[in-house]
Amino acid sequence: MALVIGNADYRVGPLQNPIKDAAAVAKAFETLHFDRVILKQNLRIDGFRAALGELAREVAGADLGVVYFAGHGVEVGGRNFLIPIDAVLARQGDLDLQAVALDTTIAQLAGVTSLKLVILDACRTNVFPLAGVKRSVGRGLSPVKPEDNTLVVYAAKDGTTADDGAGRVHSPFTEALLKHIATPDVEVRLLFGRVRDDVLLATRNDAEPQQPYVYGSLGGRSHYLQPVDPGNDSPLAQRLRDQERRIAKARAEANAAKERLRDLERRLQAEGAPKPIKAGEGAKREQVPSPQTTASSPAPASAGGSCSDARAGCTQACPSGTNFSECENSCRSRYRACLSTGAFTRGLVKQ
């Protein structure tokens, strides 16, 4: 599951793109078939904490848990904080009251069983003076050392700032992330390596090109944002297998219909009637000779093939619709009588 947050409407230092960035990333996670994607925008401090509480409840037992945050982030004394839109942060002490510590955010992923992933497009230029801070506010965010299969991805390396992308649809980092996030069968470390390359290329003309950075340590297991099966088959292969199952089901239904038709033919042959004529085969129907008689005079027939032929002609003359079964039963009764008497009674049809 994923929690996606975009904060833009700050009291201090409003930003242009986090709302669009977060909406696009949430849609991308939905396209990747995440079981749950929680999208939050312009969170105040109470809403921020509530969203993290919802994340902690929902993510328990999940194989993959993701937090994406676009907005302001600051570092003071080696600690990183994510900033709600209503923060003022006039003093250092305001951070614990008005902001959310990064380590608190990471801790909400404790219930994830495989990969915990935190993506921060938040290393903006600091706009909060924080009077009373003993050491100067750091530029960008400070490095982190997450453990227990946790990766933390910064849009810009520690000590540097990330571009909000003013005048663009998305920030350079999120634009690169959206480009690569749905690529099939790309392990997560390689995926963010490709994101890094694209961001460096997009900002190569800046005074200090922006370089995304990944912090954390994973074991030998591969991790993917796209679901793949144990055989490492691509999503395309999975879709082909689903198509093959649908084709096999349709083929089985067709075979069952053919078997029902063969069963009907066997029952009719056991009664001495000819096989039913199949639609589209162009079979020619034999015309039963019409003896010159009336309903009171049975048509002579031998106890062999003539009775069968007469019954076939009778059945073919039955009207379609709801009366067909009644007519067919009548033809069957007269056929059985023909086998005994040698004559097939035509009912009310004058010959």
Query: With helix as H, strand as E and coil as C, how does the chain read?
Result: CEEEEECCCCCCCCCCCHHHHHHHHHHHHHHCCCCCEEEEECCCHHHHHHHHHHHHHHCCCCCEEEEEEECCEEEECCEEEECCCCCCCCECCHHHHHCEEHHHHHHCCCCCCCEEEEEEECCCCCCCCCECCCCCCCCCCCCCCCCCCEEEEECCCCCCCCCCCCCCCCCHHHHHHHHHCCCCCCEHHHHHHHHHHHHHHHCCCCCCCCCCEEEECCCCCCCECCCCCCCCCCHHHHHHHHHHHHHHHHHHHHHHHHHHHHHHHHHHHHCCCCCCCCCCCCCCCCCCCCCCCCCCCCEECCCCHHHHHHHHHHHHCCCCCCCHHHHHHHHHHHHHHHHHHCEECCCCCCC
Shared-domain flag, residues 216 and 309: no
* Of 183, 206, 239, the domain-final residue: 239
Q: Residue 333's pLDDT is what?
A: 84
Give yes or no for residue 233 having a pLDDT over 60: no
What is the arithmetic mean of pLDDT over 191-210?
92
- Examine the fold and report which residue of 239, 272, 305 is the final residue of a domain before the chain moves on: 239
Q: Which of 120, 164, 158, 121 is nearest to 139 (CA)?
A: 158
One domain, residues 131 and 229: yes
* pLDDT band at residue 180 using 50, 70 and 90 as cut-offs: very high
CB-facing half-sphere around the CA of 137: CA atoms within 13 A: 22
Q: In sequence order, what are the beta bridge partners of 119?
A: 68, 153
Same domain, 218 and 336: no
Q: Token pair of 8, please?
A: 């833009």
- Structural domain including 317 reads 286-351
Which range has highest mean pLDDT (81-90, 121-130, 301-310)?
A: 81-90
Is residue 251 domain-resident?
A: no
Say if 262 falls within a structural domain: no
Same domain, 235 and 120: yes
Q: Which pLDDT does position 240 carry in this prediction?
A: 66
Would you say residue 84 lies in a domain? yes
- Paired with 152 in beta bridges are 118, 215
- Residue pLDDT, tens place only, 246-272: 887 888 888 888 888 888 877 777 776
pLDDT band at 242 (very low <50, low <70, confident <90, very high): confident
Does residue 117 lie within any of the structural domains? yes
Whether 249 is covered by a domain: the verdict is no
The reported pTM is: 0.64
Q: What is the pLDDT of residue 131?
A: 42
Q: What is the pLDDT of residue 122?
A: 86
Comparison of pLDDT for 242 and 26, the residue scoring more: 26
Domain assignment present for 252: no
Instruction: Please name which of 299, 148, 301, 171 lies closest in space to residue 218, comparing C-alpha atoms.
Output: 148
Is 291 found in the same domain as 212?
no
Same structural domain for residues 224 and 330? no
Instruction: Note whether residue 137 is domain-resident.
Output: yes
Answer yes or no: do 194 and 301 share one domain. no
Residue 66 and residue 145 share a domain: yes
Indicate if 146 and 220 belong to the same structural domain. Answer: yes
Residue 277 lies in a domain: no
Residues 201 and 313 in one domain: no
Do both 302 and 194 map to the same domain? no
Verify that 291 and 190 share a domain, yes or no. no
CATH number at residue 26: 3.40.50.1460
Total count of domains within the chain: 2
The average pLDDT across 167-194 equals 92
pLDDT for the residue 129: 57
Q: Which pLDDT value is given to residue 63?
A: 93
pLDDT score recorded for residue 283:
46
Using a pLDDT cut of 70, give the percent of the chain over it: 79
**Is there a contact between 275 and 268 (Cβ–Cβ < 8 Å)?**
yes
Residue 268, both tokens: 């009719």
**Which of these three, 239, 271, 296, is where a domain ends?**
239
**Would you place residue 152 in the very low, low, confident or very high pLDDT band (cuts 50, 70, 90)?**
very high
